[in-house]
Amino acid sequence: MHRRMFALLLLSSLLGTALPASTLASQIPGFGRGVDDASEPSMGFRDSTGVVSVAATPASPEVPRGGDLVAKIVVDIEPGWHVWTNDRPMGGEFARFDSAVHTEVAVSKPAPGLVPHLDYLQWPEVHGVKADVGDGLLTYAVFEGRAVAYLPITIDADAPLGASRFVLSVSFQACDDSQCLAPATVEVPVEVKVVETATGGVAASVDPDFAAFDPAAFGKIRAGVKAPALVEFDVFGKAFSIDVSGWLGFSLLLLVAAAGGFLLNLTPCVLPVIPLKIMGLSSAAGNPRRCFALGVSMSLGVIGFWLGLGALVASVTWFKSANQLFQLPLFTIGVGVVIAVMAVGMAGFFSVSLPQWVYAINPSHETHTGSFGFGVMTAVLSTPCTAPLMGAAAAWAATQRPGTTLTVFAAIGTGMALPYLVLSAFPHLVNRMPRSGPASELIKQVMGLLLLAAATYFIGAGISGLLTEAPQPPSKAFWWVVAAFGVVAGAWLLWRTLRITPSHVKRLAFGGLGAIVMLVSVFIGVSQTRHGPINWVYYTPKAFEKALAEGNVVVMDFTAEWCLNCKALETTMLFPENVSSLLRRENGVVPIKVDITGNNEAGNDMLRAVGRITIPLLVVFAPDGTVDGAVVFKSDSYTAQQVIDAVERAKQLVRDEARQAAKEQQPAAPAGATAILAVRNAR
C-alpha cells in the first residue's frame, strides 16, 4: 500500500493542465469555479478528502452463513469537482487517457469467512468532461456528484458466527476545471453480523440505493464464472486489450503470444541465422519425410527452450525475463563461446583438429539431436530481444499460476518455431538451395563467419560488462571485431563467387550481396562506436535528482550492449534530427542513459523503481518538486512522434506549474487534471 500511495503522491503536483478553465467553464455546467473563488477549499488543504467523502454500508446488518451480501460504496463529491473513473475500457464517445489517476477499491483488512469479490464490483454511471490534452478536444469519463458502487460479498459456510468487520481502502483524486488536489486513500469499514445458515440469496434491504445492484453477479460467482480480466497491449502507439477471463479470450491471448513469438524471428537477434536454418532443411529436402522430421526436432528445440524458461519464471520469484540472464557477463560470454564453437563446426573450411566435445555440440542438420540443439540455440539468441506483442503476454503470464505461465510461454515458442515447421513440411520451398558442391560449401563458410561475428558480439558485450565500472559507459571496441568478421564474410562471398561461377547474373547477385555485407559491416562498426547526436548523461541517482531539481524534463533510456533491440530503437527513433534536437539541456531536456551491461546496481534499482525488469525501455519524467519526478511516458516499443509528444507534454506541465505557482503567490498546490502517469505502471 505504501508503494501505491507513493506513486499517487508523485502525481499530485503535476496533474492540472489538461482541463483548462477556458475550456470546461464554457462548455460544462458546474465547472466554472476557479482557484480564486472565495469558496475554494483547496487553499486550506492539499488532498482530495477535502471535497470527497467515502462511506461503505452493507445491505443488511446480518447475513447467514453461506449467504450473499452486497455492500454499497458511496463517493460524495462536492459540486464543481470530479474524480476519475476506475481503470476500465470506456469505448464509445469516451477517449482513453492512460495517465489518469483512476479510482480504485481494495481490501486492506480482510475478515475470516467474508469474501469480497472486487473483480465483480459494479461501478456507477460515468459523466463526460471535454478537454484538450494534445489530441484535440476529446471527452473523458469521470465520476461526479454522488457516485455509488456495489461490492458483492459471499459468506463461507463455516464463517465464524457473530460480529465481523473488514476494511476497504478507496483511492481517488479530485479535480475541478483548473486544478487537481493530491490523491488520497481512505479506509472505510464494513460491519455485519454472521448468523446461523438460513436461506441463500442476497440479504434484503430497504435502502433504495440497492435497487440499482444487479444480483446476477452472485449467480456468476457461485457458478465459478470469472469476471473480465484485461491484458493490455501497446505496439508503437496502437493499443488494444484482451479479456482473458474466459476460454475464448485466453485462446486469443495465446494467438497473440504466438504472433509475438513469430515476430522474434525478425528481430536483430535471430534474423542473421535464418539462412542457416533454411540451409539445414534444404540438405534433407530430397527426402520429404526426413525433412519434416528434422523440422519437428528443430521446432521442439525452440519450444522446449521456451517451456524451460516458463518453468524458471514460474518457480523462481525474482526471475521474470530471459534477458535478466544477460546482465550476468559470464552468461553472455558463455553464449558467445557456444555460438563460436558451433560456427567453427558449421563453416567446414577450418581444417584444425578440434576436441571431441566440440563435435558433440556441432549442430549437424542431418541428425535429430543437432536439429534440436540448433532450435535451442536459435531460441537462446532471441532472448536479448523482445518482440512486439510477446512482451505484454509474457509479463502477464509471469504473474499467473504455473500452468498458465507454461501455456503462454509454450505459445510463444510455438509461434517462433512455426516458420521452420512450415518450411520442413513443404520442402520444395527450400529445395533450390545447393546441397553439395562449391556453392554449398561457400554458403556454410560465409554463414560460419557471420556466426563468428555474432559470437564476438556476445563475448565482447560480456567482457565489456566485466570491465565496466558504473556509471561509466562500457567499452564498444569489440564492435570493430564484429565488423571485421562481417567484412571478411562479405569479401569471401564476393571473391569465391567470382571464382566458382561463370554466370554473370550469379556474379552480380551474389558478388553484389558480398559487397553489401561488407558495407553494412563497416556501417555497424562506425555507428556502434560513434558518439551519436545525443549528449547522454550516464545515470547516477544524484545526476537524475539534479536534472529534476533544475527544472529539466528527463528522457531516460534503459539499454545494454547485449540488447540489439535497444540499439535499433535508439538509432531509428531517437537519433533522427527532429527528436535528437529536442533532447538537449538548452531546451530544458536532459537525456540520461541507464546502461545495465555490467553490474550496474543503481541502474537495475532504477529499472525496478519504474516498474519494469526488462529492456528496452524509455521513460520521460517531468519535475514535480520531488527527487523522483513524475512519469509522463513509458514504453518499450515507441515511435519518434510519441517521444516528441511526451517531451512537449512534460514541458507544458512545467510551464503550467510555474504559472499556477505565480498565480497563488506561494508554492503551487498539487495540480493537473490529466496528463501524467498510468498509476498501474508505477506500482
For the segment 235-289, what is each residue's pLDDT rounded down to a tens digit?
Answer: 666 666 677 766 787 888 888 888 888 887 776 667 666 666 666 665 655 567 7
d(CA 88, CA 512): 54
Q: What is the pLDDT of residue 447?
A: 76
Angle formed at CA 476 by CA 475 and CA 480, multiple of 5 degrees: 140
Averaged pLDDT for residues 11-16: 34
DSSP-derived secondary structure letter, 50: G
Beta-carbon count within 10 A of 449 CB:
22
Residue 362 has pLDDT above 70, yes or no: no
Phi/psi for 180 (5° steps) reads -125, 145
Looking at every residue in the chain, the average pLDDT score rounds to 74
3-state secondary structure (DSSP) of residue 108 = strand
3-state secondary structure (DSSP) of residue 552 = coil
Q: Cβ distance 409 to 310 under 8 Å? A: yes
d(CA 61, CA 65): 13
The letter for the amino acid at 347 is A
Averaged pLDDT for residues 363-371: 66
More confident residue, 185 or 234: 185
Report the range of poorest mean pLDDT among 79-88, 383-392, 581-590: 383-392
Q: Cβ distance 621 to 553 under 8 Å? A: yes
Q: Which three cell numbers stand for residue 635?
A: 514504453
3-state secondary structure (DSSP) of residue 358 = helix
State the pLDDT confidence band at 53, using cuts at 50, 70 and 90. Answer: very high
Residue 574 has pLDDT above 60, yes or no: yes
Q: What is the pLDDT of residue 323?
A: 61
For the segment 633-644, what is each residue's pLDDT rounded down to a tens digit?
Answer: 888 778 888 899
Q: Which three cell numbers stand for residue 521?
A: 559491416
More confident residue, 544 or 660: 544
The proportion of the chain whose per-residue pLDDT surpasses 90, expressed as a percent, equals: 8
Q: Which three cell numbers stand for residue 102?
A: 483512476
Domains of the chain in start order, with CATH, are 47-228 (2.60.40.1250), 238-321+364-433 (no CATH), 537-682 (3.40.30.10)
Q: Burial letters for 625-649: b for 16+ Cβ neighbours within 10 Å, e otherwise?
A: bbebbbbbbbbbbbbbebbebbbeb
Averaged pLDDT for residues 668-673: 39
For the segment 30-42, what is each residue's pLDDT rounded down to a tens digit?
Answer: 333 333 333 343 3
How far, in Å, are 278, 282, 287, 294, 477 from residue 426 at the CA level? 12, 11, 11, 12, 43
Find which of 144-158, 381-395, 412-426, 590-604 is predicted with most confidence, using mean pLDDT.
144-158
Q: What is the pLDDT of residue 590?
A: 93
Strand partners, 4: none
* Helix, strand, coil abundance in the chain, percent, nearest 5: 45, 20, 35
The letter for the amino acid at 21 is A
Q: Cβ distance 634 to 557 under 8 Å? A: no
State the pLDDT confidence band at 555, using cuts at 50, 70 and 90. Answer: very high
Report the range of poorest mean pLDDT among 95-104, 562-571, 648-657: 95-104
3-state secondary structure (DSSP) of residue 88 = coil
State the pLDDT confidence band at 593, using cuts at 50, 70 and 90. Answer: very high
Q: Cβ distance 117 to 217 under 8 Å? A: yes
d(CA 444, CA 336): 19
3-state secondary structure (DSSP) of residue 609 = helix
d(CA 332, CA 313): 19
State the pLDDT confidence band at 672, using cuts at 50, 70 and 90. Answer: very low
More confident residue, 1 or 204: 204
